[in-house]
Amino acid sequence: MKTEAIPVHSLPLTADQAESMLQRQIKKHHIAIILLHWFNAIVWFFELLTGLALIVSPLFRVAPQWYIAIVEGGFGTRANMLQFHVALGLAWIGVYLVYGTFGFRTYLSMEVLEKEIALDQDDWRWLVVRTQRILGLTKEALPPQGIYNAGQKLFALMVYAMVPLVMVTGIVMAFRLFDPQVVGWAVVLHFCAVSAVVCGLMVHVYMGAVFPEEKPAFFSMITGTVNELYAYSHHFKWWTAVKAEQREWDRRHDKEAVTPVDAGVPD
């Protein structure tokens, strides 16, 4: 079979091409990342649930009194609730230390981070066009995206910046490290960093769990794979990179490449 070129631009697909791409899956997430992501989501759920009920000062309280009473009641006493919040937070930090130590080269190397969350020119343009489209100012097509789109990259960058701050300030508060003034600042920073993540999470959870177009992305955080049609239409630059890698693998193994491109995706 003739090996055709991988397309440089995303072109309209015929119904047959779309159907056959829909049937093929490509790997997006490693099992370690899936487990870590859902562990992280569960931890954030319980930390937010208890964290909200821990702020009781009338000046800074964010949750209504009835909410605080219900959560506190669930733990029996306030002290138990605080103990749970701290213990879970420390376990979370422990898991990330193991992940950081053993997964450093695989998941956190500059090469991986650059490929996955650094913004390139297409990403900046994507942010402009996406905003204009939401405001109804343009119908321009979105620029091609890598494994994550620019919005996801911004969210990930913010999470990567805020999470260490949440961890360090949490430890300072839990163990009353340094003098009371430093602990006081840790409280403020902890609250601000968590609030920033919560703002991003509102969009993240909506896009991940509710937004119909992103359903394949949601299931990819369970199965680890997405169908090629979704990859082609939402993450075209990533799709071409995966195809190029497959091509290279086939070439090395001295096989004729049988890829979706061969199956008729136009070049």
Residues 46-75 that bind ligand HEM (CB under 6 A): none
Please list every residue from 235 through 264 that binds ligand HEM, using CB under 6 A.
none
d(CA 243, CA 133): 30
Q: Which residue's CB is nearer to ligand HEM, number 155 or number 232?
A: 155
Q: How far is the CB of 128 from ligand HEM (least distance, A)?
A: 19
Interface with ligand HEM includes 44 (CB under 6 A)? yes
Which 117-176 positions form the footprint of ligand HEM (CB under 6 A)?
Answer: 148, 152, 155-156, 159
Q: How far is the CB of 6 from ligand HEM (least distance, A)?
A: 22
* DSSP labels, the chain: ---PPPPSS-----HHHHHHHHH-EEE---HHHHHHHHHHHHHHHHHHHHHHHH---TTT--S-HHHHHHHHHHHSSHHHHHHHHHHHHHHHHHHHHHHHHHSHHHHSSHHHHHHHH---HHHHHHHHHHHHHHTTS--PPPPP--SS-HHHHHHHHHHHHHHHHHHHHHHHHHTT-S-HHHHHHHHHHHHHHHHHHHHHHHHHHIIIII-GGGHHHHHHHHHSEEEHHHHHHH-HHHHHHHHHHHHHHHHHTT-----TTTTT---
Binding of residue 96 to ligand HEM (CB under 6 A): no
Give whichever of 148 and 236 is closer to ligand HEM, judged by the CB atom: 148
Q: Which of 34, 36, 41, 54 binds ligand HEM (CB under 6 A)?
A: 41
Residue 217, interface with ligand HEM (CB under 6 A)? Answer: yes
- Residue from 26, 28, 166, 170 binding ligand HEM (CB under 6 A): 28
Q: At what angle are helices 78-102 and 31-54 packed, to 10 degrees? A: 150
Among 90, 187, 221, 263, binds ligand HEM (CB under 6 A): 221
Q: Does 37 bind ligand HEM (CB under 6 A)?
A: yes
Give the one residue of 17, 145, 169, 220 binding ligand HEM; rule: CB under 6 A.
220
Q: What is the smallest separation between the CB atom of 116 and ligand HEM, expressed in angstroms?
A: 8
Q: Name the residues that contact ligand HEM, by CB under 6 A.
A: 28, 37, 40-41, 44, 148, 152, 155-156, 159, 197, 201, 204-205, 208-209, 217-218, 220-221
